[in-house]
């Protein structure tokens, strides 16, 4: 397997570069999807036809799908639907022979109260049975299950953690950019301006080009509100080489949140849902990017059960406790001299402890 550069897992990026981006991108679309199907029944027939046209589907097919979904009971365990969210970034993986998933996130949706619990899995967690870090399992899945590679990391995690996973979602950061463009861009409040003189160009083949002047470009953001396109948003959330505090991972995580909040603030406006043509395009976007992971009918079934609790929707985040930072930590980072891999890894210190901690932080014991 191709080796990857060592990363200190003790940096404040345990949840991963794409935690909030991948999670919120998916759940933005899911929540949009819930509201759209609740509201579509109120549209006049003509508006419904506009919606269907932009969704690139016959209206009767959308209506039939809605009927089937309304009568669909979503896959669940103890009134919960569990997701594995895999986040990848084509820009980060350039030059690697393997496709690594920089985010691995477990999400449990409680259909009885609207609670959405998150549990991050460190990308450097070592899986001894397969002699690899957990972020390479998706690549292994391409060989084992060519038509469904995300099945392999799901199976391994179900076995390791004792948790039933109902859906696995794979998201590339470029999906967020496409979503931003679909909604017409977003107004982002840049709280602290910065200049990044080493932002990697996307249109350069890093396996052939070695000239830094051709590999990188300078991007600049000024303090204040800026209307950003999808491309501009990616520059804002990917930037990591500013000489100021904006060059660290904590600041980057905060910028990611700012973008998501800007997106959510935009769709909360009543006028947003009056544009049925755009709503239809977003429906098409959902089907193209997420329909294979959470079928439309399944999403409608979830929406139906969640609707009574839509005002109570809230997120709770968690991650594994790490020894010795936490004396009772269930995973730990062994010194390079004490592990055969000679690379930064996390190892499970207490298997049963991890399972109990997972259940606790996903609130699985609340049912």
Q: Outline where the chain has alpha helix (H).
A: 19-40, 45-55, 59-70, 137-144, 151-161, 173-182, 212-215, 230-238, 249-267, 276-290, 296-306, 351-361
What domains can be seen in the chain, in order of their start residue?
Answer: 19-174+271-366 (3.30.420.590), 182-265 (3.40.630)
Phi, psi of 166, rounded to the nearest 5 degrees: -90, -30
202 token code pair: 């996307």
Report the SS3 class of residue 56: coil
Q: Which pLDDT band holds residue 247 (cuts at 50, 70, 90)? A: confident
CA pair distance 53, 70, nearest whole angstrom: 22
User: pTM of the full predicted structure?
Assistant: 0.74
DSSP 15: T
**For the residues of 277-321, what is the DSSP string, one character each?**
HHHHHHHHHHHHHHTTTS-HHHHHHHHHHHGGGGGG-EEE-----
Q: How do strand 322-323 and strand 115-120 relate by DSSP bridges?
A: unpaired
What average pLDDT score do residues 220-239 get?
91
Q: Tell me, what's the pLDDT at 23?
A: 46
CA pair distance 296, 287, nearest whole angstrom: 7
> For residue range 302-358, what is the model confidence (pLDDT) as tens digits?
888 888 887 787 777 788 888 888 898 888 888 765 665 667 788 888 889 988 988
Q: Which pLDDT band holds residue 8 (cuts at 50, 70, 90)? A: very low
């Amino acid at each position: 397997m191709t080796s990857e550069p060592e990363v200190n897992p003790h940096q404040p990026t345990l949840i991963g570069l794409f935690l909030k981006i991948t999670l919120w991108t998916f759940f933005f679309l899911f929540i949009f999807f819930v509201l759209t199907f609740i509201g579509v029944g109120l549209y006049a027939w003509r508006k419904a036809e506009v919606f269907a046209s932009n969704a690139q589907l016959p209206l009767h097919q959308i209506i039939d799908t809605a009927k089937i979904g309304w009568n669909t009971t979503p896959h669940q365990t103890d009134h919960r639907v569990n997701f594995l969210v895999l986040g990848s970034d084509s820009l980060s993986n350039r030059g690697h022979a393997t496709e690594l998933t920089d985010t691995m996130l477990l999400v449990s949706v409680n259909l009885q109260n609207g609670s959405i619990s998150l549990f991050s899995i460190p990308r450097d967690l070592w899986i001894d049975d397969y002699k690899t870090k957990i972020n390479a399992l998706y690549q292994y899945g391409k060989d084992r299950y060519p038509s469904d590679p995300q099945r392999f990391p799901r199976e391994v995690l179900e076995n390791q953690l004792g948790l039933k996973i109902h859906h696995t979602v794979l998201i590339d950061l470029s999906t967020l950019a496409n979503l931003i463009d679909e909604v017409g861009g977003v107004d982002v409040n840049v709280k602290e301006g910065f200049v990044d003189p080493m932002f990697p160009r996307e249109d350069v083949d890093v396996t052939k080009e070695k000239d830094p002047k051709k590999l990188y470009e300078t991007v600049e953001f000024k303090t204040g509100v800026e209307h950003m396109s999808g491309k501009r948003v990616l520059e804002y959330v990917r930037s990591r080489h500013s000489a100021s505090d904006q060059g660290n991972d904590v600041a980057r995580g905060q910028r990611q949140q700012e973008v998501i909040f800007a997106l959510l603030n935009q769709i909360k406006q009543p006028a947003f849902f009056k544009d049925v043509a755009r709503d239809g395009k977003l429906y098409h976007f959902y089907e193209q990017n997420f329909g294979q992971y959470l079928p439309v009918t399944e999403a409608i079934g979830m929406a139906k059960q969640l609707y009574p609790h839509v005002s109570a929707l809230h997120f709770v985040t968690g991650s594994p406790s790490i020894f010795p930072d936490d004396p009772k930590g269930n995973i730990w980072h062994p010194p390079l001299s004490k592990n055969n891999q000679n690379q930064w890894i996390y190892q499970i210190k207490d298997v049963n402890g991890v399972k109990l901690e997972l259940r606790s932080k996903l609130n699985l014991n609340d049912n």
